[in-house]
Amino acid sequence: MIRGLDHVVVAVRELDQAAAHYEALGFTLTPKARHPWGTENRLVQLQGTFLELLTVPAGVDIAAPGQGAFSFGAFNRDFLARGEGASMLVLDSIDPDADRTEFAAAGLKVFEPFGFERTATAPDGSARKVGFDLTFTLDPDAPGIGFFTCRNRYPENFWKPEYQTHANGALELADVILVARDPADHHVFLEAFTGVRELRSTSLGIECRTARGLITILSPVAFEGLYGLTIQGAGTLPCIAAVRLTVPAIQTRKVVAAAENFGLGLILDPA
């Protein structure tokens, strides 16, 4: 089963500040929402994908995961203790049980099934039920990045054209860009996680064309050469360094450095 990009979790310490920053860049954000375990988010919905700005509010007591379980809240709490940025890469799912079976067959770590529901606010102010089934796994060579698939239980309540329309013209999440000292170290994991069996290897790194968008793993030198961006601190690798969005309304590429964007490089490209 070939999976596509679903979303990227961007862990921030001050959600209101991060949301105001993204709005100043021309993005429309969903209203603030709270997960049952205490984390809060606001979303940048695109065409079939989204960026999730997420925080762990002060005073929230994140419960320790049980044996065999993965704690979304604890992972992001620990990530934020080290710094801000993209903490998790998420692919879409139509069958969580099949995902777990395929991951296990490929030798990937699997965790207990996990699902939840919450209330979301529609553009007209009404309350709508949304729910998700998350299937977590991990790349032992990338312990600082969370990986999971996500099945959207009520897509008709989640996706709204009003939230997908942005003043800056952003349309799609075209590429999630990881940086690693040796991109080839993650080849086997990426094949199993995405279901894509033919990755493209070049002198710059690895390119994986998923069912929706690209995942690229570059060396630090290649990342800097292609986008003019640098990774701060060699100890942070591998990491999700940047996302590339298609923006048909612009004529030339615009790049926002991670230091100016809560730890995540933002590349806006003409379609």
Q: Is the CB of residue 63 less than 8 Å from the CB of residue 71?
A: yes
| pLDDT per residue as tens digits for the range 126-171 | 999 999 999 999 999 999 999 999 999 999 999 999 999 999 999 9
* Arithmetic mean of pLDDT, 42-55: 98
144 and 177 share one domain: no
Is 154 in the same domain as 204? Answer: no
Asked if residue 206 and residue 129 are part of one domain, the reply reads: no
Final residue belonging to a domain, choices 107, 129, 158: 158
The answer to whether residue 164 is domain-embedded is no
User: Do 119 and 205 share a domain, yes or no?
Assistant: no
End-to-end CA distance of the chain: 28
Question: Residue 64 — very low, low, confident or very high, per pLDDT cuts 50/70/90?
Answer: confident
> What's the pLDDT at 235?
62
Task: Give the model's pLDDT for residue 236.
Answer: 81
Same domain flag for 53 and 131: yes
Domain membership of residue 76 (yes or no) is: yes
> DSSP string spanning 179-222?
E-SSGGGGHHHHHHHH-----EE-SSEEEEE-SSSEEEEE-HHH
Q: 71 with 141, same domain?
A: yes
Inside any domain, residue 32: yes
Question: Is residue 167 one of the residues assigned to a domain?
Answer: no
Scored b (16 or more CB within 10 A) or e, 20-52 reads ebbeebebbbbeebeeeeebbbbbbbbebbbbb
Q: What is the tens place of the pLDDT at every residue in 74-105?
A: 999 999 999 999 999 999 999 999 999 999 99
**Same domain assignment for residues 21 and 101:** yes
* Angle between helical axes of 187-194 and 96-105 (0-180°, round to 10): 150
Regarding whether 179 and 154 lie in a shared domain, the answer is: no
User: How many other CB atoms are found less than 10 A from the CB of residue 109?
Assistant: 13
**Based on the domain organization, do 133 and 184 belong to the same domain?**
no
Report which secondary-structure segment, H or E, holds 41: strand 40-45
Of 123, 158, 193, which residue is a domain's last?
158
- What integer is the mean pLDDT of 16-26? 98
Per-residue model confidence (pLDDT) at position 233: 57
For residue 163, tell me if it sits in a domain: no
Residues 144 and 188 in one domain: no
| CATH code (residue 212) | 2.60.40.4320
The larger pLDDT score, comparing residue 183 to residue 1, is at 183
Sign of the CA dihedral with 257 first, then 260, 265, and 271 last: negative
Domain end, chosen from 104, 133, 158, is at 158
pLDDT above 70 covers a percentage of the chain that reads 99
Average pLDDT for residues 224-229, to the nearest whole number?
Answer: 95
Q: What does the mean pLDDT of the chain come to?
A: 96
In a domain, residue 176? The reply is yes
Task: For residues 90 and 196, state if they share a domain.
Answer: no
Q: Which residue range forms the structural domain that includes residue 259?
A: 172-269
Give the whole-number percent of the chain exceeding pLDDT 90. 93
Asked whether residue 214 falls in the same domain as residue 111, the answer is no
Q: Is residue 165 part of a domain?
A: no
Written as six digits, the tokens of 140 are 């032992």
Residue 63 has pLDDT above 90, yes or no: no
Total of domains in the chain: 2
Cβ neighbours for 127, distance < 8 A, ≥ 6 positions apart: 119, 120, 121
Assigned domain for 141 exists: yes
